[in-house]
């Protein structure tokens, strides 16, 4: 399991370097997803399976999907089809594919029992996390809910006025 | 002696978290595209979460994972508002250059 930790760390750092040096936003996003998956693997190795699942579902799933949606809204150009063809050529996705293949090899190795996973490893189970979260940390949960509500209201407010502004621009353009 | 449950020294886990955090700071400093700045902020939040998980694994306490859950909530709220602001700025001056946004008044 020790080597798995270092390999996953290498994948995380390499993918993160490609994120901050990437020129195209979608490529950087692809590498960031790989980096988050690698960090989730590290969580699993460190004995935090609940945090690993949350990392994959919320970070690599929900938050990255938000980024993808915004990129779709920012790129409504007619050159999209040509760019799609350009993206489907190998060389762009081969880097993330290699890094993900390393992670998948690690997963297969762990699942086939190569690293005596689960037998000697001590984990902090989701049950303990839940008991502590809704026990001593209940105030933090309430504060997090207030924060998420504030984020929801803020995003709704901005999006509402953005939509009205676009409608007004469209009407003004038709009159002219 | 200072090892995580499976013989990984705690320093190595913290070094990985620090490297990821420094990469995030570097991204914020060297990029001018606001989308990349937001991605770098995500990297930094994720690295701090990793540090919490490493510390929680060292002492086998659930507190590290709980702090990670809170960081996750902060990241979700920050991303939703940040992306809405990015859409605003893009519809304002048709670019995501962070330097152009410094012309904002009121």
Residues of B in contact with A135 (CB under 8 A): none
- Whether the pLDDT of residue A110 is over 60: the answer is yes
Grouping H, G, I as helix, E, B as strand and the rest as coil, residue B97 is strand
Please, which pLDDT band fits residue B98 given cuts at 50, 70 and 90? confident
B68 backbone dihedrals φ, ψ, rounded to 5°: -65, -40
DSSP state of A63: I
Contacts with A116 (C-beta within 8 Å, 6 or more apart), sequence order: A1
Q: For residue B56, give the nearest of A48, A54, A63 by CB distance.
A: A48
The mean per-residue pLDDT over the stretch B26-54 comes to 92
Q: Is A19 on the interface with B (CB under 8 A)?
A: yes
In sequence order, what DSSP letters do the residues of B60-93 get, joined into one string? T-THHHHHHHHHHHHHHHHHHHHHHHHHHHHHHH
Question: ipTM of the predicted structure?
Answer: 0.90
Per-residue pLDDT of A26-73, as tens digits, reads 888 989 999 999 999 999 888 888 999 999 999 999 999 999 888 888
Cα angle: A128, vertex A54, A131; to 5 degrees = 20
Mutate to test the interface with B, among A20, A49, A161 (most CBs of B within 10 A): A20
- Whether the pLDDT of residue B85 is over 50: the answer is yes
Q: How many CB pairs under 8 A join A and B?
A: 187
Predicted TM-score (pTM) of this structure? 0.86
pLDDT of residue B21: 96
Cβ contact A37:A100 at 8 Å: yes
A114 backbone dihedrals φ, ψ, rounded to 5°: -65, -35
The C-alpha atoms of residue A40 and residue A32 are separated, in whole angstroms, by 12
Contact B91 A162 (CB under 8 A): yes
* Alpha carbon separation from A101 to A37, A95, A97, A98, B79 (Å, rounded): 11, 10, 6, 5, 29
């Amino acid at each position: 399991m020790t080597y798995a930790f270092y390999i996953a760390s290498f994948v995380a750092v390499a993918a993160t370097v490609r994120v901050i040096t990437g020129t195209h936003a979608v490529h950087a996003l692809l590498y960031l997803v790989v980096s988050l998956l690698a960090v989730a693997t590290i969580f699993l190795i460190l004995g935090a399976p609940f945090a690993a699942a949350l990392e994959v579902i919320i970070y690599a799933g929900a938050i990255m999907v938000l980024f993808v949606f915004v990129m779709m809204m920012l790129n409504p150009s007619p050159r999209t089809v040509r760019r799609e063809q350009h993206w489907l050529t190998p060389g762009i996705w081969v880097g993330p594919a290699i890094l993900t293949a390393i992670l998948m090899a690690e997963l297969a190795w762990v699942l086939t029992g190569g690293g005596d996973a689960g037998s000697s490893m001590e984990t902090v189970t989701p049950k303990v996390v839940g008991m502590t979260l809704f026990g001593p940390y209940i105030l933090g949960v309430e504060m997090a809910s207030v924060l998420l509500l504030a984020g929801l209201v803020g995003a709704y407010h901005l999006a509402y006025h953005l939509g009205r502004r676009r409608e007004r621009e469209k009407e003004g353009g038709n009159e002219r | 002696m200072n090892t995580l449950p499976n013989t990984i020294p705690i320093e190595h886990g913290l070094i990985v978290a620090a490297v990821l955090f420094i990469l995030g700071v570097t991204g914020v400093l060297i990029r001018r595209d606001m989308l990349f700045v937001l991605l770098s902020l995500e990297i930094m939040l994720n690295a701090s979460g990793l540090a919490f998980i490493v510390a929680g694994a060292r002492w086998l306490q659930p507190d590290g994972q709980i702090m990670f859950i809170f960081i996750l909530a902060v990241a979700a709220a920050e991303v939703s508002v940040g992306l809405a602001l990015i859409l605003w700025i893009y519809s304002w001056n048709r670019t995501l250059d962070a330097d152009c946004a410094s012309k904002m008044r009121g």
